[in-house]
Structure 1
Amino acid sequence: MSKKPFSILSFLKNIGIMAGIGIIALLFFFYVYLPSTTNHNETITVPDLVGKSFEDIDEFLTNRNLRYEVSVDSGFSEDYDPEVILSQNPKGGAKVKEDRKIYLTLNANVPPQVRMPNLINTDKDNAEDILQSNGLKLGEISYVPDRRINAVISQKLNGEDINTGTLIYKGSTIDLIIGNGEGIRRFPTPDFLGKTYEEVQFQIEASGLKLDEVNFILNDTVPPNRVYKQLPPVGAMIRTGDLIEVWINSRQTPEEDPEPNQQ
C-alpha cells in the first residue's frame, strides 16, 4: 500500500480548513447561541415611578418583570404625600433587562428636623435665603421702630420667639420682626421723674423706647413708689428703640409693694 508524500501545501490547506471551522463556531456562539440564551436584544423600558404611591407599585413592576428595593434613607418633600416615590435608579425611560432591580427613595412620613438658624441682625433678603437653604419657609413679616433698617429683630415660630439652634421640623414657617429704620430719628428724652412704675411703662412704650433696668431703692426726694432718677436724663437726645433706666423710691417691686391709694 502506497503512501502520499508529505506536502506543505496540503498541510497548510488542512490548517486553513480547521481555522475556518473554528472561526465559524466562534461566530455562531457569540452572535447566535449566546444572544438567544441571554435575551441579548430583549430590553424593558423602566417606567417613571416618581410621584406614585409605594403601595401601588408592587403589581405594577411585577407585571413588567422588574424587581425593586426601597432605600433605607428616606427623603422629604412637601410637594408629595408620605410614602410617595421621590426618586428612582435607574430613572424612568432607561432600557434594562428583565428582572432588573429598581432602587426607590420614599417620602418620609414625618419631616426631618433641622436646627433653627440665627437670623438676628441679618437683612430680610439674606434671612429668606438662609431659611430656604435650611428647608424652612418665610412667614409673615412685621416692621417695628428700630434703628436697624431692614434687619431682623426677632424670629418667631407659631407666635413665639424661637432660639437659634432649636430643633424644628423641616418645612416650618418662620415669622420675622424687622426694623423699619425709624430708630434713626432723634428726639429729647421724656420726663419720667415723679411718675409711677406703671406710668413709666406706658410712656416708654408709647415713645417707642425700651425699659432696661429698674432700680428699687429708697429715696426721700419723691413720694413712695415714684421715679426720682432716670438715664438718659430729661432732654438728652435719643433714638427710637433706645434703652431707659429708672430709679424708684421703693424697697420692693410694685407687685410686692403696691402704691397706697392717694386721697
Structure 2
Amino acid sequence: MGIKEFFSRHFSSTEESFLNPGFLLKIAGVALALFLLTYFLFSWTMDTVIHSRKEVIVPDIQGKSAANALQLISENDLAMKIAGYEFNDSVPISTVLRQVPPAGATVREGKIVKVVFSQGGELVFTPSLIGLPLRNAELLLRQRQLLLGEVSESYSLKAEKGTVLSQEPKAETSVSKNTMVAVVVSAGEPPAGIVLMPDFRQRKLAETYQWASDNKLKVETIEDPSSLFPGGTIIDQTPAADTVVSAGSVVTLTASSRKSAAGQEEKEFRIPYVVPQSGSQRHIRVVTVGKQGDREIFNGLREPGSKIDLTVPYGGADKIRIFVNGILVEEREVK
C-alpha cells in the first residue's frame, strides 16, 4: 500500500476514520515510543553530566565565620545555602552552627551544603534603673535576664541614699542576655567641706548668682532666645547637678531670653503633674514635641506625691510627653 493510499484510508474527511480503534492504538504506540526515547535520552544525559563531576570531601565549616566557610566551600567546588539562624550565647554571631551534609561526607562537585548561622546571644533592652533603690534595681535586672555589675557611690543633693543615680549601659540599650549593668548610687548628702552643684534647671538666674557668690564661684551665662521658658529661666547648666565644685570654678548657665511680642501678654500652657504616691523616687522626664523636633524641658528625680508644674507658650509645642523611669506614661495635646 502506497503513501497516498494510506492517507486516503486513515486521514479521510470522514469522522469515523479518526475514531477507528486501530488508528488510535497506532497513535498511542508512537507517542509512548517517543516519550520513552525522550526520557531515556534525558536520563542518560543527566547521569553522564553528574557522574562526570569529580567526587570531593565536604570540608568542616562548623565554627567558621561566614567568610571563611564560604571560602572553604568554594575551594572544594561546592555551593552554600543558608538554612536558618539561631540564637546561641556561646557562639559568636555569623558563625556556622551546623552543616548538611556533615564534614567528611563524599559528594559530587556542585553539591549544595546547607548551613545554620548563629545570631549570638539573644538580645534584650536594659531597663531604666534611675531613681530606684539598689535592691529594686537588681530585681528588675534579673527579671530582664541581666546582671548587676559594679556598684559605686556618689554624694547627691537630689537623691536619697541608696538610690540609683546613673547606669551603664543606658536605659533602652540593646544588649545580650546576662550582660552586666554598672550603677552609681547615692551616698546621700556630702559632709561639710564638699560642695555639690545643685540642679538649677527651671529656676531663676538670681538664685544661681547668689549661690555662686556664697561659694566663690564664677558664672558665665549663655542666652537662648528660642527657649520655650519665660525669660531668665535656666534651661541647662555645666557642670551637671551633684558634681563636686570648688572655689574659683566656672559655672556655665544657659538661660532663656525669650521675649513676648510688644504690648501683648503671651499665653502659656500649664503642665501640672503629680508623681505617683507609692514606691520610691521616680525619674521624671518631660518632653515637648513640635515642628522644631523634641525638646526636653524637665529631667530629674522626684519624691512620691511631689508636684511638678511647668509652662510652655502656646505655639511652642504640639504635644507634651511625660516619662516615668523611662516609660511614656502620658501624652497631652497643647490646645
TM-score normalised over the length of structure 1: 0.37
Give the strand-richer structure, 1 or 2: 2
Q: Looking at CA atoms only, which structure, 1 or 2, has the larger radius of gyration?
A: 1
**Higher relative contact order, chain-length normalized (CA < 8 Å, sep 6+):** 1
